[in-house]
Amino acid sequence: MDQCGSGSWVPSGGACSSPHCAQDDCGDCTSSHNDCGWCGSEQLCVPGNTAGPTNNRFCAAGYVGPSQQASCPSCNTFTDCGKCLANGCGWCASSNQCMFGSNAGPSTGTCASQWVPKGGVCPSGHCTQTACGSCVGVHVDCGWCGDQQLCVPTLPDGSAPVSGSCTPFVPPSGANAPNAGVCPVCATFTSCLTCAAQTLAGSARCGWCASSTTKDQNGQTVHCLDMSSITSAQCPVMSQLVPAGGACPSSHCQASDCVSCTQHM
Give the model's confidence band at 7: pLDDT under 50 very low, under 70 low, under 90 confident, else very high.
very low
Identify which of 107, 100, 113 has the alpha carbon closest to the alpha carbon of residue 72.
Answer: 100
Instruction: Give the mean model confidence (pLDDT) for residues 208-228.
Output: 87
pLDDT (mean) for 123-150: 86
Chain CA centroid to CA 40, Å: 23
Rounded distance between C-alpha atoms, residue 169 and residue 179, angstroms: 9
Least confidently predicted of 63-67, 103-107, 200-204: 200-204
Give the pLDDT band of residue 101 (cuts 50, 70, 90): confident
In this structure, are residues 196 and 242 in contact, taking their beta carbons and an 8 Å threshold?
Answer: yes
Say if CB 198 and CB 149 are below 8 A apart: yes
Q: What does the domain layout of the chain look like in residue ranges? A: 1-72, 75-116, 184-247
For residue 125, the tally of other CB atoms under 10 A from its CB is 6
pLDDT band, residue 6 (cuts 50/70/90): very low
Q: How confident is the model at residue 2 (pLDDT cuts 50, 70, 90)?
A: very low
Confidence class of residue 4 from pLDDT cuts 50, 70 and 90?
very low
pLDDT of res. 3: 45
Closest CA to 36 of 27, 49, 25: 49
Q: Give the mean model confidence (pLDDT) for residues 61-69.
A: 89
pLDDT at 232 over 80: yes
Q: What is the pLDDT of residue 201?
A: 52
Q: What is the DSSP string of 171-194?
A: PPTT-SSTTTT----GGG--SHHH
The reported pLDDT for the residue numbered 36 is 92
The pLDDT value recorded for residue 91 is 92
Lowest-pLDDT range, 13-22, 66-75, 92-101, 148-157? 13-22
For 3, 106, 112, 143, the CA distances from 124, given in Å and listed in that order, are 18, 21, 18, 11
- pTM, to two decimals: 0.55
Q: Is the pLDDT of residue 82 over 70?
A: yes
Q: What mean pLDDT is reported for the chain?
A: 81
